[in-house]
């Protein structure tokens, strides 16, 4: 083999090798980045769970997945996620407000469900007018106003068939006298609303001020239809 042939073969070999090395390094970097992201996500979830007493890890995972889909749609610039777990009894704290910028749980409180959703446990959910039942699914918060129950927060359901008539039904977040320690101690459960997620009067104002104007609420219940067909969980 003459000098020219040797040089040509050497150049071809090294060009191919360099490309292959670059591809391997790129794949390796992607793999490492993916795993670091997965680790970070897992770490953040654990940090939240350490603060959110009573929050089921599975419920948190569903809520975070739904929230990420909402963010991908351009919703919630504040990175505030509220989770309501309607599978828990009203006698338990089952609403958590989470600041995802800090992985910090700002509030962990009681919340009432609708009169016709159930007694201490909610088991029936509806988006029908005059159903007096709570809704599940992904919800966007709106503006505040002064209403029949004082300082209140409008809610917009984002899932057709599950909560998209919340606004027209006037299902809002407000304070209620029946969401208090004294009521709970007397009856062993909270009182019930007409479908609204009602809060203790002492905590309702700061919570409403934290989550108003376009943040995301995920109202969870292990409803197989919702878990399977929600566009936010696909």
Query: 180-204: per-residue pLDDT in tens?
Result: 999 999 999 999 999 999 999 999 9
* β-bridge partners, 220: 85
Work out how many domains the chain is built from and give that number.
2
pLDDT bucket at 116, cuts 50 / 70 / 90: very high
Q: Is the predicted pLDDT of residue 207 greater than 80, yes or no?
A: yes
Q: Is the predicted pLDDT of residue 8 greater than 70, yes or no?
A: no
Structural domain including 27 reads 1-51
Give percent above pLDDT 90 in the chain. 81
Phi, psi of 6 (to 5 degrees): -60, -45
Average the pLDDT over 114-130 and give the result: 97
pLDDT, tens digit (0-9, with 9 covering 90-100), for 138-181 = 999 999 999 999 999 999 999 999 999 999 999 999 999 999 99
Q: Are residues 178 and 193 in the same domain?
A: yes
Tokens at 160, concatenated: 């057709």
Residue 69 CA to residue 102 CA, distance in Å, equals: 20
Per-residue buried b or exposed e for 194-232, using 16+ beta carbons within 10 Å of the residue's own CB = bbbbbbbbebbeebbebbbeebbbbbbbebeebeeebeb
Q: Are residues 188 and 87 in the same domain?
A: yes
Is 198 among the domain residues? yes
Q: Is 131 helix (H, G, I), strand (E, B) or coil?
A: coil
What CATH number should be reported for the domain holding residue 161? Answer: 2.40.440.10
Q: How many CB atoms lie within 10 A of CB 21?
A: 10
Phi, psi of 216 (to 5 degrees): -110, 135
Average the pLDDT over 58-86 and give the result: 98
Q: Are residues 81 and 155 in the same domain?
A: yes
CA angle 94, 131, 111 (to 5 degrees): 15
Q: Are residues 130 and 35 in the same domain?
A: no
Q: Are residues 77 and 187 in the same domain?
A: yes
Is 234 among the domain residues? no
Is 97 among the domain residues? yes
Q: Are residues 183 and 118 in the same domain?
A: yes
């Amino acid at each position: 083999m003459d000098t020219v042939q040797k040089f040509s073969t050497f150049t071809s070999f090294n060009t191919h090798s360099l490309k292959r090395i670059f591809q391997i390094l790129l794949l390796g970097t992607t793999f490492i980045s993916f795993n670091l992201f997965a680790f970070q996500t897992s770490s953040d979830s654990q940090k939240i769970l350490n603060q959110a007493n009573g929050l089921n890890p599975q419920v948190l995972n569903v809520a975070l997945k739904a929230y990420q889909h909402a963010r991908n749609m351009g919703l919630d610039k504040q990175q505030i996620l509220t989770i309501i777990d309607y599978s828990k009894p009203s006698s338990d704290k089952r609403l958590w407000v989470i600041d995802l910028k800090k992985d910090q749980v700002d509030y962990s409180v009681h919340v009432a469900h609708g009169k016709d959703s159930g007694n201490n446990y909610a088991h029936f959910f509806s988006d029908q007018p005059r159903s007096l039942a709570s809704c599940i699914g992904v919800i966007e918060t709106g503006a505040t106003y002064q209403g029949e129950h004082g300082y209140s927060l409008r809610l917009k359901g984002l899932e057709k068939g599950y909560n998209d008539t919340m606004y027209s039904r006037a299902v809002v977040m407000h304070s209620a006298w029946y969401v208090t320690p004294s009521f709970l101690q007397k009856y062993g459960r909270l009182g019930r609303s007409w479908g609204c997620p009602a809060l203790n009067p002492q905590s309702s104002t700061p919570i409403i001020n934290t989550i108003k104007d376009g943040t995301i609420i995920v109202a969870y219940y292990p409803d197989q239809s919702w878990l399977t067909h929600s566009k936010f969980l696909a």
